[in-house]
Structure 1
Amino acid sequence: MTPETRGSRPPTWLRVAVPAVLILVWFALFGSGGAAFGRLSDVVTNDQAQFLPASAEATEVNELQAGFRDSDAVPAIIVFAGDGTLDDAATATIEDLREQVLAVDGVVADQASPVIPSDDGRAAQFVVPIDADAGEGGPRDVVDEIRGLLAEHPIEGVAAAVTGPAGFTADLAQAFSGIDGLLLAVALAAVFVILVIVYRSPLLPVIVLGTSMAALCASVLTVVALAGADILPLSGQTQGILFILVIGAATDYSLLYIARYREALADGGSKWDATLAALRGAWEPIVASGGTVIVGLLILLASELTSNKILGPVAAIGIAFAMLAALTLLPALLLWAGKVAFWPRRARAAEADAPAGPDEDPTAGRGLWAGVARFVARRPRTVWIASTALLALMCLGLPRLDADGVPSSEFVLGASEARDGQAMLGDHFPAGSGTPAVIIGGEGDLQAMAAVARDTDGVDSVTVVATGTPAGQAEVTEDGLVAFGPPGTPAPEPTVVDGRVLLQATLADPADSLAAEATVERLRASLDDVDAAVLVGGSTAVALDTNAAAITDRGRIIPLVLAAILLILMLLLRSIVAPLLLIGSVVLSFAAALGVSALVFEHVLHFPGADPSVPLFGFVFLVALGVDYNIFLMTRVREESVRFGTRAGILRGLRLTGGVITSAGLVLAATFAALGVLPILFLAQISFIVAFGVLLDTFLVRTLLVPALSYDVGRAIWWPSKLARGTR
């Protein structure tokens, strides 16, 4: 080292102080974020109605309903079904259990229904509203206590279950209960095993995972603060995706930095010089990759669904901290560790034997990636055409993807008491009992609305919220209102709020079924003839409007994401042709992943369908993250092309990035696969689509298709930049 070089360095105290301060700051964020994990359950909500678009009809009904009730309650249906006719002893026990249920904290006792026997005499049910703000766990804790009460007092020959919206909410909350422990443990274990295999070092995987966990803790700290201030509502679904996205992205960015750092150390530089060289080589692709993902995620703010809008900024916060940790904490830790981080192996470049001279054959030498480079250079056109044909073949499964929505009873995979209870209800009562469609219209149109509702296929009965009746409602018949209650119950009067009345239409089909959604659509169309201002809501309408908004989002968000990423690639690569080719490869890869996933979902996993948001989320994650690997590859290709010419640069870029891209792809696929441990249909599907798609990108698109196509096109891929006018 020359005196001039030594003199240009910062003083020793600064080289010691800067990394130390960075490590201490991140350590503080790690500790504070770790404490914030315990507050996640307090700010997470899984109520589907809270994530509807403001313009949805069901949203307006939810807001108007508040005027007709004294509490913000979620109905729970307690259903009993016997092997035969319920005898007097069983009926008396059910009545006694009802009284005990009404005494449970959180149950709104004065709004509970009486015990209602089925027409066949083999079942009974009663409905109890549960205060949405009851206790720390809300409806879930109350439902768990009711279920415990029923388990303590079994009735011989009679099955009992808690179902309805509160029951399904409790089952969903239970399914998400492993998100803090099990999900993180599986994801971190998978990443650790991959890193140990890749680096064969005990210390380096710990440094990388420490960086990822620091980024996650900082993200959780920020998100919990925003959710606690009611700025960003948080769902279990968003929480799970945040965990996986931060761990996967932070690890990927760390791998890219480590590859550059190892190259610099292998060249004989000091730890400080290697750090500066690694930062110079890694910051642009890391910032470009993270920025691309952030832009793609923030485009979700254009979504109609609040759940999608919230995922965008929450996940973007996570990606921002992942980038920041990879460019600050990781360099500080590696500066501290130096070559010891790679022990017991020596720090060497990924392709230490790569030819360095401009006239040398870039495919010469040993190693896997030298072999791949030779394969691509030998028959580039055959390679990219065959790769494209294989991806196109995978796309043939796309028409089999059923992404028009699934019943909410299918959201939870595996056992679900609420789903079992819903089946019991359907066997003995109108399947929509306890979760009716809600109709709100003018007081003067009461009888007309009721008549239209009764005549609509799929509607079993119609009631109106009324005063002066024990049940708080009355049946609406052709002759007027009929009170529920013992003989002598006074004639009811409909409850009127701002000139409106609220009717409840009990549906013949389960409230979460596609048949019930079709009934709601018929109701809305028929009631428009009474008055266009009549609104239809309820849990079925919530699902219907959510699916409709999700389908609209797909058509709006996907083109915006493509356009934004294309623009970023053009700015980064100073080219138009290369970004177009890269975007085309990513879209084809996504379609192939979706096609294979559709066949697996239908014929292997036997899923009942998919939520309309599944293709959208799969697209955002796969395209944004898939472009990451394009950026890792093509920024290095451009760097090498400037020095050695386009075709030689492509082969050198492939050799130099092949190992890091493969490792990053395996890590990201493993982290998303970890989502599959949660028994949630949506997350299981996203898990498979993204994990398979990332592997497809890693081993086919980025390894063969993109290098071969770029090699075949030659320097024209850089058009209109100066590189396109070069001689090689």
Structure 2
Amino acid sequence: MTTMKEQPVTPRGDRGSDAGFTAGYARLVSGRRSKWAVLVIWLVLIAAGGSLGSKIGHVQNNDQETWLPSSAQSTRAVKLAEQHFADRHTSGAVIVYTRDSGLTAADRAKITADAGALKAVAVGTVSAPEVSGDGKAAFVSLPLRTSPSDNNVLTHAVDRSEKIVRDGAPAGLETRVSGEAGSIRDFADVYSGMDGALLGAALAVVAILLLLTYRSPVLWLVPLISVFLAAEVASGVVYLLAAHAGLLVNGLSTYILMILCVGVGTDYALLLIARYREELHRHEDRHEAMRIAVGRSVSALSASAATVVLASLCLVFGKMNSTQGLGPVVAIGVAVVFLAMTSLLPALLVVLGRWTFWPFVPRHTPGHEAGTEQEHGVWARVAGTVARRPRVVWACCIVVLAALAVGTATVETGQTQAQQFTKSVGSIEGQKILAAHFPAGASEPADVYVPAAGADSALQVVRTVPGVQSAAVDRSAGGWTHITAVFKDAPDTQAARDTVHRMRTALDQGPAGASDAVVGGQSAVALDTANATKDEEMLLIPLVLLVVLVMLILVLRSVVAPIVLLLSVILSYAAAIGAASLLFHAIGHPHMDRSLLLIGFLFLVALGVDYTIFLMARVREEVRHRGHRDGVLTGLTVTGGVITSAGIVLAATFCVLATIPTVSSLQEGLLIAVGILLDTFLVRSLLVPALSLSLGPAIWRPGHPETEAPPEGERPLETTRADVGA
């Protein structure tokens, strides 16, 4: 061990980290002895988290109610069905038969026999076979058992039904399983085994990009392993909260958790390693280099993580059960990877030593200065371009972003069932057959639950509603009556949703008893979901923006800069939506789920502002020592490469979602990737630095970094044996 005498370190960059908690934390994760304690703690967390994280599928709740607005009529209808009609955890299947030349006598005999045999699978009444008017198609409907935590229950029930139908079927008789159960089974088949596949694909993408970034056969493994372990621990924490604290977890939140942990964790690793490499040039002792790197990085990283965590937690105020559950899951994932990348990763890097950077090992270079053209050639030239014509640069950026934002006029929201997959599946094919041969709403009638005393009045009201083909009492139980209403339009269309709205209005204004009716079913779910999503946008988007603005004010200790940055992020989001919409049209999937607008907003604003925080936090540090103009340009130069790498990694990670053959996953991955790339290459690289130069020191008002005293505790580094050996 080299003994160092207490003396100031002369290079310009050695200004030290903030005193207090930050300095203590930096010493803890990089100290000669304390780093081993950090690794032991993480080994314990990983051992526990790995075993618990593997069980996350057991606590997933994918029941229909978990995707509905908590207070909507369709949700109340589901609860009434469970309470009074023993329909708890059931899903309706529709067995569809067709023969283009017309059903034969043998076909009809087989269909009748199937209706009897299917009683062994159903958990309720199997309908009598219904034959189309043209004699070419028929269907039988039945309820099947499902489970909120195990899709295999419903999948097995559908598979058993399908086997019954196919066994002994006359040659040429085509069969499909459609309805809600068929659709759920198809989604389950699509997502089956995707947990590990998605994580593996995301890690593979990150591995390739890290190899290209570091050009080292060893270094890429350290952040990759750290990210993977952090994702396992995060899954374990989510499992515990779902199993014992009532946290709602479904398939969507699980996949987003994995992708987010990998992408955000890698971003944090890239930023920390870049600062560590910089300090290794200035310091002979790697422990000291890491102490300074963590001390100078953790403030920006913690601000970034806190922004995403708080913005995500805003989702708990949403109306959709799935939205309310997603927020805490995202917050947990980001918090865990932040802790891992600022403790586990530094400890591992210090233990392994400089050789992990081989063959480009950063050597101690006295007088080393960051931000030179030799070290950051491309970004030094970018900074020079911005410096020469800042007004032209930001004006051109705004024109480009505004032009892309015009594409929002092409946005089409709302997907039919046939528009939800990128490949043909059985439930969609069955739905098309039903639509061709039966009244469009025959396979998915609306459910009307009404107190028994008002059943007759409600039935008469329902029959008079425009858009209703027919209505009949299905059954009564527990003082309630169940009425089914067949619509003239397909259940997943806007016309059917309009019929639900008219029906509810008519019942509310109807005779006594009828006004207590509750309307549910597929079309009602679609209507309530659309309305709840619009309400969420009105509430959550301003709330997220407020959270981001407050965090920027706290981080930058300014008011002007946060407002400018927030406006740039909003413009970037509009541009991303416009560009993505044009892309969706180009690839043949123009209709997007309305919820994507809110989810996209959360990730693009929260993650997009990350890069701005990383840039402007470094700029503020440089301004305090170099002056405003040189500080802005130096900040852009030294962060350009690493933030660009981080943006590319995060965009590529979200693109992994496009491998799932559902349109919503494809669109979510592409939208977030497009938005992140716009933030990375246009907003953070050009627009924000150019605006900062044009506004001058006024951007820091009411503060002024150039004339401020250094933050409490900031001092020239005094490298002592005590510090290095902490």
TM-score (norm 2): 0.90
In the aligned structure 2, how far is the partner of 1:608 from the partner of 1:650? 41
| Equivalent position of 2:5 in the other structure | 3
User: Is the 2:248–2:325 contact (alpha carbons within 8 Å) kept by the matching residues of 1?
Assistant: yes
In the aligned structure 1, how far is the partner of 2:379 from the partner of 2:30? 40
- 1:497-516 matches, within 5 Å, as 497-498=478-479, 500-516=480-496
Q: Offset at 1:47? A: 3.5
- 1:239-318 matches, within 5 Å, as 239-318=254-333
| Equivalent position of 2:508 in the other structure | 528
In the aligned structure 2, how far is the partner of 1:627 from the partner of 1:278? 22
For the residue of structure 2 that corresponds to 1:276, the secondary structure is helix
Q: Offset at 1:130? A: 0.7
In the aligned structure 2, how far is the partner of 1:349 from the partner of 1:171? 58
Q: Offset at 1:430? A: 2.2
| Equivalent position of 1:470 in the other structure | none
User: Is the 1:275–1:335 contact (alpha carbons within 8 Å) kept by the matching residues of 2?
Assistant: yes
In the aligned structure 1, how far is the partner of 2:248 from the partner of 2:169? 39
- Which one scores higher on RCO, CA 8 angstroms, separation ≥ 6? 2
Q: Offset at 1:366? A: 6.5
| Equivalent position of 1:594 in the other structure | 577
In the aligned structure 2, how far is the partner of 1:365 from the partner of 1:241? 36
In the aligned structure 2, how far is the partner of 1:366 from the partner of 1:65? 65
In the aligned structure 2, how far is the partner of 1:348 from the partner of 1:159? 71
- Name the aligned partner's letter for residue 88 of structure 1: A
In the aligned structure 2, how far is the partner of 1:36 from the partner of 1:195? 29
| Equivalent position of 1:689 in the other structure | 671
Query: Does residue 119 in structure 1 map to residue 133 in structure 2?
Result: yes
| Equivalent position of 1:84 in the other structure | 101
Query: Does residue 367 in structure 1 map to residue 349 in structure 2?
Result: no
User: Is the 1:27–1:214 contact (alpha carbons within 8 Å) kept by the matching residues of 2?
Assistant: no
In the aligned structure 1, how far is the partner of 2:173 from the partner of 2:375? 75
| Equivalent position of 1:475 in the other structure | none
Q: Offset at 1:164? A: 0.8
Q: Offset at 1:457? A: 2.5
User: Is the 2:30–2:347 contact (alpha carbons within 8 Å) kept by the matching residues of 1?
Assistant: no
Residue of 524, 529, 534 corresponding to 1:541: 524
Q: Offset at 1:37? A: 4.7
Q: Offset at 1:348? A: 6.5
For the residue of structure 1 that corresponds to 2:360, the secondary structure is coil
Computed over aligned residues only, the root mean square deviation of the Cα atoms, in angstroms, reads: 2.6
Q: Offset at 1:718? A: 0.7
Q: Offset at 1:133? A: 3.4
User: Is the 1:355–1:364 contact (alpha carbons within 8 Å) kept by the matching residues of 2?
Assistant: no
User: Is the 1:430–1:508 contact (alpha carbons within 8 Å) kept by the matching residues of 2?
Assistant: yes
For the residue of structure 1 that corresponds to 2:449, the secondary structure is strand
For the residue of structure 2 that corresponds to 1:85, the secondary structure is coil
CA deviation map 1:382-416 (0-9, x unaligned): 1111111111111110111112x222443332122
| Equivalent position of 2:713 in the other structure | none
Query: Does residue 101 in structure 1 map to residue 139 in structure 2?
Result: no
- Name the aligned partner's letter for residue 618 of structure 1: G
| Equivalent position of 1:622 in the other structure | 604
User: Is the 1:645–1:726 contact (alpha carbons within 8 Å) kept by the matching residues of 2?
Assistant: no
Residue of 229, 236, 240 corresponding to 1:225: 240
| Equivalent position of 2:431 in the other structure | 422
Identify if the C-alpha distance between structure 1 residues 84 and 417 changes in structure 2 by more than 3 Å, giving closer, same or farther: same
In the aligned structure 1, how far is the partner of 2:617 from the partner of 2:544? 21
In the aligned structure 2, how far is the partner of 1:193 from the partner of 1:12? 32
Unaligned residue ranges in structure 1 (runs of 5+): 357-361, 467-494
| Equivalent position of 1:557 in the other structure | 540
For the residue of structure 2 that corresponds to 1:504, the secondary structure is strand
Query: Does residue 65 in structure 1 map to residue 81 in structure 2?
Result: yes
User: Is the 1:263–1:348 contact (alpha carbons within 8 Å) kept by the matching residues of 2?
Assistant: no
For the residue of structure 2 that corresponds to 1:111, the secondary structure is coil
Q: Offset at 1:353? A: 7.4
Query: Does residue 567 in structure 1 map to residue 550 in structure 2?
Result: yes
Identity %: 38
How many residue pairs get aligned? The number is: 686
- Name the aligned partner's letter for residue 450 of structure 1: L
Query: Does residue 380 in structure 1 map to residue 386 in structure 2?
Result: no
Unaligned residue ranges in structure 2 (runs of 5+): 9-22, 710-726
Q: Offset at 1:49? A: 3.0
Identify if the C-alpha distance between structure 1 residues 608 and 703 changes in structure 2 by more than 3 Å, giving closer, same or farther: closer
Residue of 19, 40, 57 corresponding to 1:24: 40
Q: Offset at 1:14? A: 10
CA deviation map 1:39-80 (0-9, x unaligned): 233222333432322221111122122243234221111110
User: Is the 2:30–2:350 contact (alpha carbons within 8 Å) kept by the matching residues of 1?
Assistant: no
For the residue of structure 1 that corresponds to 2:405, the secondary structure is helix
Identify if the C-alpha distance between structure 1 residues 587 and 696 changes in structure 2 by more than 3 Å, giving closer, same or farther: same
User: Is the 2:281–2:363 contact (alpha carbons within 8 Å) kept by the matching residues of 1?
Assistant: yes
In the aligned structure 1, how far is the partner of 2:253 from the partner of 2:663? 14
| Equivalent position of 1:55 in the other structure | 71
Query: Does residue 390 in structure 1 map to residue 392 in structure 2?
Result: no
Q: Offset at 1:20? A: 2.5
User: Is the 1:443–1:501 contact (alpha carbons within 8 Å) kept by the matching residues of 2?
Assistant: yes
In terms of mean alpha carbon deviation, does 35-44 or 230-239 score higher?
Answer: 35-44
- Name the aligned partner's letter for residue 560 of structure 1: L
User: Is the 2:628–2:697 contact (alpha carbons within 8 Å) kept by the matching residues of 1?
Assistant: yes
For the residue of structure 1 that corresponds to 2:192, the secondary structure is helix
In the aligned structure 1, how far is the partner of 2:340 from the partner of 2:545? 27
| Equivalent position of 2:593 in the other structure | 611
- Name the aligned partner's letter for residue 61 of structure 2: T
| Equivalent position of 1:137 in the other structure | 152
For the residue of structure 2 that corresponds to 1:723, the secondary structure is coil
Query: Does residue 579 in structure 1 map to residue 595 in structure 2?
Result: no
TM-score (norm 1): 0.89
User: Is the 1:49–1:59 contact (alpha carbons within 8 Å) kept by the matching residues of 2?
Assistant: yes
CA deviation map 1:320-347 (0-9, x unaligned): 0010001110001101112111111122
Q: Offset at 1:17? A: 4.3
| Equivalent position of 2:199 in the other structure | 184
Q: Offset at 1:449? A: 1.9
Identify if the C-alpha distance between structure 1 residues 553 and 659 changes in structure 2 by more than 3 Å, giving closer, same or farther: same
User: Is the 1:611–1:682 contact (alpha carbons within 8 Å) kept by the matching residues of 2?
Assistant: yes
In the aligned structure 2, how far is the partner of 1:568 from the partner of 1:724? 22
- Name the aligned partner's letter for residue 30 of structure 1: I
- Name the aligned partner's letter for residue 248 of structure 1: G
| Equivalent position of 2:471 in the other structure | 462
- Name the aligned partner's letter for residue 50 of structure 1: T
| Equivalent position of 1:698 in the other structure | 680
| Equivalent position of 2:458 in the other structure | 449
Query: Does residue 518 in structure 1 map to residue 520 in structure 2?
Result: no
- Name the aligned partner's letter for residue 603 of structure 2: F
In the aligned structure 2, how far is the partner of 1:177 from the partner of 1:200? 35
Residue of 51, 54, 62 corresponding to 1:35: 51
Q: Offset at 1:724? A: 6.8
In the aligned structure 2, how far is the partner of 1:76 from the partner of 1:417? 12
Identify if the C-alpha distance between structure 1 residues 35 and 412 changes in structure 2 by more than 3 Å, giving closer, same or farther: farther
- 1:155-166 matches, within 5 Å, as 155-166=170-181
In the aligned structure 2, how far is the partner of 1:124 from the partner of 1:230? 47
User: Is the 2:119–2:125 contact (alpha carbons within 8 Å) kept by the matching residues of 1?
Assistant: no
In the aligned structure 1, how far is the partner of 2:364 from the partner of 2:660? 39
Q: Offset at 1:608? A: 4.8
Identify if the C-alpha distance between structure 1 residues 719 and 601 changes in structure 2 by more than 3 Å, giving closer, same or farther: same
In terms of mean alpha carbon deviation, does 329-338 or 16-25 score higher?
Answer: 16-25
For the residue of structure 1 that corresponds to 2:133, the secondary structure is coil
In terms of mean alpha carbon deviation, does 694-703 or 93-102 score higher?
Answer: 93-102
User: Is the 1:261–1:275 contact (alpha carbons within 8 Å) kept by the matching residues of 2?
Assistant: yes
- Name the aligned partner's letter for residue 120 of structure 1: D
Identify if the C-alpha distance between structure 1 residues 49 and 11 changes in structure 2 by more than 3 Å, giving closer, same or farther: closer
Q: Offset at 1:512? A: 2.0
In the aligned structure 1, how far is the partner of 2:30 from the partner of 2:260? 34
CA deviation map 1:553-584 (0-9, x unaligned): 11111111111111111111111111111111
